[in-house]
């Protein structure tokens, strides 16, 4: 496999077979950024391309995890080249030690994380955060829904440096459904998804229903309908995507970060993190003891989700509740129009949809007092549906907030999810 950067350096104008590179491919090569890979990589290359390829992979994989195999590829594809490659591949397979299920570092991906342990074991809530966000962002929601409920969250893959983000909504949903089936088999639950997490939650609900599981409700918190999304599911350069992330951080800080797309252009990936980190510290969203590297998981997951496309494969015939964020100073009625358009699009996939708006921003919707208002509305709907009853909490009882692992805390320090 020839490295993308090596490929570009060999010839910026022509492909291997002499065909001109189309403008879109040339742009993709310029924008291509790869996070360090946390696994062994075996590179097979002919001598003619080895030096250029090595420049790329040695920056991407730790030296002790990069295994380079050379074969005689002189003269292009021919029987001798194939035989030489086959011999090297056989040696590589013989030298490889089968990886254990938890990987070399003893780390595996377990997305399900407890947020609140309810005292009466009422129907649990399962929450899925948005792009670049963490289960930590649902702590206010857990307190708002009441002490009787268990509340869990699904930590997106990629927030920790040992993992890369899921490549699609369906892939993420598969991982989450597996965890639900493994730990909470046959327990009816409520699903909640914020923003991009609403798409994943919708797909999780579809797959649980296909398995015969009871999903009591699905709540979409400021989640655009995937078929008409104006933000998610489109192509972005890294600088453009970071400019979108900056807008969300500015909602959380309620002030400008002083960063624009142009500030990120022509800057290395590590330099971009440094720029962003400096401004987040300045406005108080990150403490000074943090480092730019601690933003890597957030940025990586945000960029991956922002470019992800999704279209539900079937209808979801359960109660679905859409909460739309509108700014308190929205006097033009733009938010009401957006809600109407998105509700109409969501109803194509969720005919039992009900919706309401909340005077908040996209980010502050998950914070008090807005999330308390949302939780009260959901409780009234669940009572009407017979899924909950008004419960009087005995004096002296309070919910148990279970500490989220140190891994998650280090991976998610900011307060501005998508």
Q: What CATH code is carried by the domain that includes residue 184? A: 3.40.50.1820
Residues 166 and 192 in one domain: yes
Both 133 and 83 in a single domain?
no
- pLDDT of 16 reads 36
- Collapsing DSSP to helix, strand or coil, 124 comes out as strand
* Structural domains counted in the chain: 2
Which pLDDT score, from 0 to 100, does residue 97 have? 56
- Is there a domain that residue 177 lies in? yes
Contacts of residue 224, defined as CB under 8 A and 6 or more positions apart, other chains included, come to 195, 230, 231, 232, 342
Please tell me the predicted confidence (pLDDT) of residue 413.
38
Q: How far is CA 90 from CA 65, 84, 151, 177, 228, in A?
A: 18, 10, 49, 37, 49
Residue 14, in any domain of the structure: yes
120-143 pLDDT tens trace: 778 999 999 999 999 999 999 999
Task: Give the per-residue pLDDT at 120.
Answer: 73
Q: What is the pLDDT of residue 94?
A: 78
Q: Strand, helix or coil at 153?
A: strand
Using CB atoms within 10 Å of the CB of residue 286, give its burial: 0 to 12 exposed, 13 to 18 middle, 19+ buried: buried
For residues 344 and 228, state if they share a domain.
yes
Q: What is the pTM of this model?
A: 0.79
Based on the fold, state whether residues 203 and 322 are members of the same structural domain: yes
For residue 242, tell me if it sits in a domain: no
Say if 266 falls within a structural domain: no
Q: What is the pLDDT of residue 387?
A: 82
Taking a C-beta distance cutoff of 8 angstroms, is the pair 402, 150 a contact?
no
Identify whether residues 10 and 130 lie together within a single domain.
no
Any domain includes 356? yes
List the chain residues with pLDDT less than 70.
1-38, 47-59, 73-77, 96-107, 328-332, 389-418
Query: Within 10 Å of residue 189's Cβ, how many Cβ atoms?
Result: 20
Q: CB under 8 Å to 212, separation ≥6 — which residues?
A: none
pLDDT at 74: 61
Same domain for 393 and 344: yes
Dihedral Cα 306, 269, 107, 288, nearest 10 deg = -100
Residue 353 lies in domain: 112-232+307-411
Query: What is the rounded distance in angstroms from the CA atom of residue 219 to the CA atom of residue 128?
Result: 10
Residue 19 belongs to some domain of the structure: yes
Same domain? 342 vs 407: yes
Place of tokens 């295994």: 67
Q: Which two tokens stand for residue 13?
A: 């104008």
Q: Which of 33, 64, 95 marks a domain boundary?
A: 95
């Amino acid at each position: 496999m020839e490295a993308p950067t090596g490929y570009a350096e060999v010839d910026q104008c022509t492909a291997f077979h002499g065909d001109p590179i189309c403008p879109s491919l040339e742009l993709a090569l310029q924008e291509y950024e790869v996070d360090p890979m946390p696994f062994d990589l075996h590179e097979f290359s002919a001598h003619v391309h080895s030096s250029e390829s090595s420049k790329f992979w040695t920056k991407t994989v730790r030296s002790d995890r990069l295994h380079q195999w050379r074969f005689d590829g002189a003269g292009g594809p021919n029987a001798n080249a194939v035989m030489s490659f086959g011999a090297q591949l056989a040696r590589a397979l013989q030298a490889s030690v089968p990886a254990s299920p938890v990987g070399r570092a003893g780390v595996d991906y377990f997305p399900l994380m407890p947020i609140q342990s309810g005292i009466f074991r009422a129907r649990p809530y399962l929450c899925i955060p948005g792009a670049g966000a963490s289960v930590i962002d649902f702590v206010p929601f857990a307190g708002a829904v009441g002490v009787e409920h268990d509340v869990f969250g699904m930590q997106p893959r990629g927030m920790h440096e040992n993992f890369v983000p899921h490549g699609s909504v369906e892939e993420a949903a598969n991982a989450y459904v597996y965890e639900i089936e493994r730990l909470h088999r046959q327990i009816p639950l409520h699903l909640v998804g914020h923003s991009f997490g609403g798409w994943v939650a919708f797909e999780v609900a579809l797959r649980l229903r296909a398995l015969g599981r009871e999903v009591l409700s699905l709540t979409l918190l400021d989640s655009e309908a995937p078929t008409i999304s104006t933000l998610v599911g489109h192509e972005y350069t890294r600088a453009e995507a970071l400019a979108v992330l900056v807008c969300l951080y500015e909602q959380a800080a309620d002030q400008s970060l002083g960063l624009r797309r142009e500030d990120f252009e022509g800057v290395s990936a590590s330099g971009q993190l440094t720029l962003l980190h400096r401004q987040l510290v300045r406005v108080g969203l990150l403490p000074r003891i943090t480092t730019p590297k601690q933003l890597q998981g957030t940025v990586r997951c945000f960029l991956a989700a922002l470019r992800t496309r999704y279209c539900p494969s079937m209808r979801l015939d359960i109660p679905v509740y859409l909460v739309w964020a509108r700014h308190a100073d929205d006097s033009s009625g733009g938010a009401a129009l957006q809600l109407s358009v998105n509700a109409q699009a969501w109803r194509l996939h969720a005919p039992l949809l009900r919706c309401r708006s909340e005077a908040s921003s996209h980010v502050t919707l998950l914070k008090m007092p807005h999330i308390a208002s949302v939780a009260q509305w959901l409780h009234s709907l669940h009572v009407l549906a017979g899924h909950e009853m008004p419960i009087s909490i005995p004096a002296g009882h309070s919910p148990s907030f279970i500490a989220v692992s140190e891994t998650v805390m280090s991976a998610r320090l900011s307060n501005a999810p998508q």
